[in-house]
Amino acid sequence: MTIFRLIAAALLPVLFAIFFYILEKKTKFAKFPYFVKQIIIGIVFGGIAVLATEFGIAVEDAVLNVRNAAPLTAGLLFGGPAGIIAGLIGGIHRWFCVLWGSAGTYTRIACSLATVFAGFFGAACRKLMFDNKKTSWFYGFALGVTTEVLHMLLLFLTNMNDIDTAFTYVAKCAMPMIIANSLSVMLSLLLVSLIGKEKLRKPREKKQIAQIFQFLLLICVIVAFFVTSGFTYSLQTKISVADADQLLRLNLEDVKADITDASDANLLDLTRRIADDISILSASAELSALAKKYNVSEINIVGQNGIIQSSSRYDFIGFDMNSGEQSKEFLVLLNGATEFVQEYQPISFSSELSMKYAGVSIQGGGFVQVGYNSSRFQKDIADHVKLAARNRHIGTDGFVMICDEQFNVVSSPYEEHIGTPLQFETDNTLEEMLELEGQRFEAKGRMEYDAYCMFIRAEGYFIIASIPIEEAMFSRNIAVYVLAFMEILVFASLFICVYFLIKNLVVDNIHKVNASLAKITDGDLNITVNVRGNEEFASLSDDINSTVKTLKHYIAEAAARIDKELEFAKAIQHSALPSVFPPYPSRRDFSIYASMYTAKEVGGDFYDFYLLNDHTLIFLIADVSGKGIPAAMFMMTAKTIIKSLAESGMEIDEVFSQANTKLCHNNEAGMFVTAWMGSLDLQTGILSYVNAGHNPPLIRKAGGNFEYLKTRPNFVLAGMDGARYRKHELRLDPDDTIYLYTDGVTEATNTDTQLYGEERLLKLLCNSQSNDPKYLCMLVKDDVDLFVGSAPQFDDITMLSVKLDHIQTHDSIITYPKAESLQIVTDFLGNKLKEWDISLKSANRVHIALDEIYSNIIHYSGATRAEVTCIRLEGLIKLIFKDNGTPYDPTALEDPDITLSAEEREFGGLGIFMVRKSARDMNYTYVDGLNCLALTFEV
């Protein structure tokens, strides 16, 4: 039951760790402000610590709990503030809970401090060691162990004056609490990692420096730990055993002396009384009587020569005292000593007989020796012996007892033992046991614990001393526990220090150097490495900087040379393109403009245009794959081939087919060209075009708006021999505009790496105020520049725009009716009339007619296409207007009243009237959606 409660208490922090982790990952909890989250988590984990205290598990008089796991987990997993809050709540609660008795006073300071420490420790480790990230489970385990060990040491430190009780607590609590707390922290981290589907440990081919240090340190530490612990253990054991030996022996000697002294005094006294009763000449018979009277075993009288003169035992008479070791000792009485008592021992006369002798010298030389058997002298001192061991304790639980030769207890501090047979659990036989006199042996007596025992014999008694082994080893155990705890703390501190120092002095600096190097590798040679934390890194920084500086110098030199060459290449490339605008100043029937803005690197864009004859305009735009000199050279080849083929007069689809074939040959570099080429017939407005994989151009039909001219493109040029190219056709009307571009426009990139895009291009052109080619090209370039901002230009920006202004044949001119067109049509008519040598007056009439009718078409018809034809017949000039505007018959108009005064006159209506007056006839029809007005003038 106890174990289950312990497990439950240990699992509580784990459950809440998982709960908050999921809350953070899956719910809106993540959006709470940082400190709000920390406070919530801190309070919850503080609550868990409080619960752990309240539901502590009492084991005998110690209380087990898993309080420190909660703050440590909070600090490690969720952040410093949470850990500190949890620690403070748990610690303060622990301090005050003694008031209502949830926990004991004895461990109050130690437990409170340890819990507060756990919170701060978790917070500090997360911040200093783990870069504010949650760490691996094995660190969690180690930190859990460290915290609990500190808890135990605090228990010792706060109870220095009652070390016994402290040790009792620690001995009971240490292992379960260390294990439960550290497993709880470990499980929290482990399960959260598993839920987060993170790898438990990133597999790395190479270990980090800190890891290598830690690994080596760990090995050294483990070895050192076991060596010192083992050494201390064995040393302390030896000392403790020796102490126990000495303690036992001293007590035994003490008791023995006590008994012997009492016995000796008694016997000497008796012997003296016997000696008073006899004289040197006493016969043996008298001695026997005396022996009977005093109830002693024998009485001997020894002469000055050391020989027994007379004795109560006849067989002893004449025995030389010098002949035996035992008897010889008594000769001291012949040498001045007056009395002598010997120990109970076998006698020299017969080793089978044991006897205790006492002797006193007598007047006239010689001495009386009295022998006592054991029952005789024991009878006199029995009462004394009974008391000898009664109040004698060794240490706390050790004691002495005395038993007689029949192994019945005669004296013991425990009254109930007396008179009962001695009880010992031992493997030795009686003989072996008797051999062990004066030596320590282990045995279990009635006290049911293992004890160190020792016995000696005195006056026919066995004196036995014993002390519990546990008590004998108490100091050793404390020493070993404290040492082990201290070592764990010291090594944990060492670990953290080494980790922290390496991280600060080496790893962080290496990262800084690497970050700078990465920037340099990315091409920013202006970065300097500036890590000056210590001499080594300062020197490394300087070396790198000087290397980069030298490199930069070489690169700059090389770049300058290449730049120069590229400038030449660019100049050559540009000079190959027509760049004088307007290119055909005498042509007013179309306008053309083109521009190419090259990127820093030479690119492969190009445009071209030429008049094949006076009514065919060829124009194209192209983009060679890739960049640099190869692209530029390929571009020159492509441009030359296309131009020479086009100028030979073949159809443009054929031009592309043949150019493709030629470009495919000798194209080891595998380059290709996208191209769009158009051929505009200026007399009909028919535009033939062919597209080899190029971006669709934008076209604006008169009166409409720009839209992409999307026809399925054919394959790129130089891509595949034998590719086929299809010619498309469409009719352009006056004022129609076409705009060609390369992907340098649509793929221009700004600093946010967004593309300019076809959408924006289309929108820009649609909102354009003019469709003049030059205006359009400038407009797009300006807008691209605006879009790109400070981002570098990667690709050539090339564009070409053509506008058909009017279509002119020998007899007629087609225009888009607008104010500017009137001048063109007027000039056309003027040239015709001049050519025919028409009189000024007649010519003016025709001019007025043109002005009136054409102005009406411009202003009122809504037409987008107006054709004016001028034919000379014999004596007549025929002027025919055709427009696609709303039907309007000027011949049906009533004549204005020309008799009105100036004030009464209206402004309108005069034009048609004037025409009608000046023309010979005027004829209107409306056919096929066209207003057709024919005027005839006499000339």
Partner 1 sequence: MIINKSVTNETLTLFVEGRLDTTTAPELEAALSASLSGINALVIDLAKLEYISSAGLRVILKAQKLMNMLGTMKLINVNESIMEVFEITGFVDILTIE
Residue from 666, 902, 928, 929 binding partner 1 (CB under 8 A):
902
Minimum distance from residue 822 beta carbon to partner 1 (Å): 6
Nearer to partner 1, 149 or 853 (CB): 853
Q: What is the rounded distance in angstroms from the CA atom of residue 219 to the CA atom of residue 225? A: 10
Q: Which is nearer to partner 1, 512 or 818 (CB)?
A: 818
**Residue span binding partner 1 (CB under 8 A) among the ranges 5-13, 201-209, 272-280, 906-914:** 906-914
The kind and range of the H/E element at 113 are helix 108-128
Nearer to partner 1 by C-beta: 330 or 816? 816
**Out of 194, 917, 920, 923, the residue judged to bind partner 1 by CB under 8 A:** 917
Looking at beta carbons only, is 141 or 854 nearer to partner 1? 854
Nearer of residues 821 and 884 to partner 1, judged by Cβ: 821
Give min distance, CB of 826 to partner 1, in A. Answer: 8
| Total residue length of the chain | 939
3-class secondary-structure state, position 213? helix
Structure tokens at 197: 């589907």
**Other C-beta atoms lying within 10 Å of the C-beta of residue 354:** 16
Three-state SS at 307: strand
CB of 823 to partner 1, least distance (A): 6
Distance CA 95, CA 109 (A): 7
Do 656 and 645 meet the contact criterion of CB atoms below 8 Å apart?
no
**Nearer to partner 1 by C-beta: 646 or 849?**
849
Other CB atoms within 10 A of residue 355 CB: 21
Number of residues near partner 1 (by CB under 8 A): 29
Nearer Cβ to partner 1 (225/913): 913
Q: How far is the CB of 898 from partner 1 (least distance, A)?
A: 3
Least separation, in Å, of the C-beta of 829 and partner 1?
12
Considering the complex, what minimum distance in angstroms separates the CB of residue 862 from partner 1?
Answer: 17
| Only segment of 321-329, 617-625, 765-773, 910-918 that touches partner 1 (CB under 8 A) | 910-918
Query: 475-478: long-range contacts (C-beta < 8 A, 24 or more apart)?
Result: 475/236, 475/240, 476/233, 476/236, 476/237, 476/239, 476/240, 477/167, 477/171, 478/163, 478/167
Between 910 and 934, whose beta carbon lies closer to partner 1? 910
State the minimum distance, in angstroms, from the CB of residue 852 to partner 1.
6
Segment contacting partner 1 by CB under 8 A, of 338-346, 628-636, 656-664, 912-920: 912-920
Both tokens assigned to 498: 């080494």
Report which DSSP code applies to 823. H
Looking at the Cβ atoms of 402 and 813, the one nearer to partner 1 is 813
Determine contact, residues 623/674, Cβ cutoff 8 Å: yes
Of the residues 910, 930, 932, 934, which one makes contact with partner 1 according to CB under 8 A? 910
Q: Which residues contact 25 (CB under 8 A, 6 or more apart)?
A: 196
- Give the binding range for partner 1 (CB under 8 A) out of 17-25, 82-90, 722-730, 893-901: 893-901
CB of 933 to partner 1, least distance (A): 16
- Which residues have C-beta within 8 Å of that of residue 701, sequence separation ≥ 6? 733, 736
* 837 exposure class (CB count in 10 Å sphere: 0-12, 13-18, 19+): exposed
Q: Does 894 bind partner 1 (CB under 8 A)?
A: no
Q: According to CB under 8 A, which one of 911, 924, 930, 932 is a site residue for partner 1?
A: 911
* Residue 32 binds partner 1, judged by CB under 8 A: no
Task: Return the closest-CA partner of residue 140 out of 150, 130, 151.
Answer: 130
Nearest distance, CB of residue 854 and partner 1, angstroms: 8
Residue 867 contacts partner 1 per CB under 8 A: no
- CA trace torsion 315, 321, 325, 327 (10° rounding): 70
Q: Please, which residues bridge with residue 555 across strands?
A: none
Q: How far is the CB of 844 from partner 1 (least distance, A)?
A: 4
Other beta carbons within 10 angstroms of residue 684's beta carbon come to 13
Compute the radius of gyration of the chain from its Cα atoms: 63
Least distance between partner 1 and beta carbon 851 (Å): 4
CA gap 84, 12 in Å, rounded: 18
- Which contacts (CB < 8 Å, 24+ apart) does range 359-362 have? 359/271, 359/302, 359/330, 359/333, 360/268, 360/271, 360/272, 360/275, 360/333, 361/333, 361/334, 361/337, 362/275, 362/279, 362/280, 362/301
Q: Confirm or reject binding of residue 899 to partner 1 (CB under 8 A).
A: yes
Strand, helix or coil for residue 771: coil
- DSSP for 340-364 reads EE--SEE-SS-TT-EEEEEEEE-TT
Among 560, 580, 819, 873, binds partner 1 (CB under 8 A): 819
913 binds partner 1 (CB under 8 A): yes
The 762-801 site mask, x for binding partner 1 (CB under 8 A), equals ----------------------------------------
Q: Does 907 bind partner 1 (CB under 8 A)?
A: yes
C-alpha 406/C-alpha 392 separation (Å) is: 22
Residue 765 and residue 739 in contact, taking contact as beta carbons nearer than 8 Å: yes
Nearer to partner 1, 913 or 924 (CB): 913
Residue number with CB closer to partner 1 (265 or 822): 822
Instruction: List the interface residues with partner 1, window 607-646 (CB under 8 A).
Output: none
Q: Rank residues 703 and 909 by Cβ distance to partner 1 and give the closer one.
A: 909
Q: How far is the CB of 909 from partner 1 (least distance, A)?
A: 8
Measure the CA–CA gap between 864 and 880, rounded to whole angstroms. Answer: 17
| Near partner 1 by CB under 8 A: residue from 393, 905, 925, 938 | 905
Q: How far is the CB of 588 from partner 1 (least distance, A)?
A: 16
Cβ closest to partner 1, residue 710 vs residue 841: 841
Does position 588 interact with partner 1 (CB under 8 A)? The reply is no
CA dist 730 to 591, 674, 693, 711, Å? 18, 21, 19, 12
Q: Does 918 bind partner 1 (CB under 8 A)?
A: yes
Q: Shortest Cβ distance from residue 708 to partner 1 (Å)?
A: 36
Q: Which uninterrupted H or E stretch holds 872? A: strand 866-873
Binding piece for partner 1, criterion CB under 8 A, among 85-93, 231-239, 447-455, 907-915: 907-915
Map 235-275 to HEC letters.
Answer: HHHHHHHHHHHHHHHHHHHHHHHHHHHHHHHHHHHHHHHHH
CB of 903: closest distance to partner 1 in angstroms? Answer: 6
Site for partner 1 contains 898 (CB under 8 A): yes
Considering only residues 518 through 577, tell me which ones interact with partner 1, judged by CB under 8 A: none
**With respect to partner 1, which residue has the nearer C-beta, 754 or 823?**
823
Considering beta carbons, is residue 188 or 821 the nearer one to partner 1?
Answer: 821
Q: Which of 136, 126, 122, 144 is nearest to 208 (CA)?
A: 136
Nearest to partner 1 of 47, 830 (CB atom): 830
Using CB under 8 A as the binding rule, the residues of this chain from 820 to 859 that contact partner 1 are 822-823, 826, 840-841, 844-845, 847-848, 851-852, 854-855, 858
- Integer Cα distance of 603 and 718 in angstroms: 17
Nearer to partner 1, 496 or 849 (CB): 849
Q: Are the CB atoms for 643 and 584 separated by under 8 Å?
A: no
Using CB under 8 A, list all residues that contact partner 1.
819, 822-823, 826, 840-841, 844-845, 847-848, 851-852, 854-855, 858, 898-903, 905, 907, 910-911, 913-914, 917-918
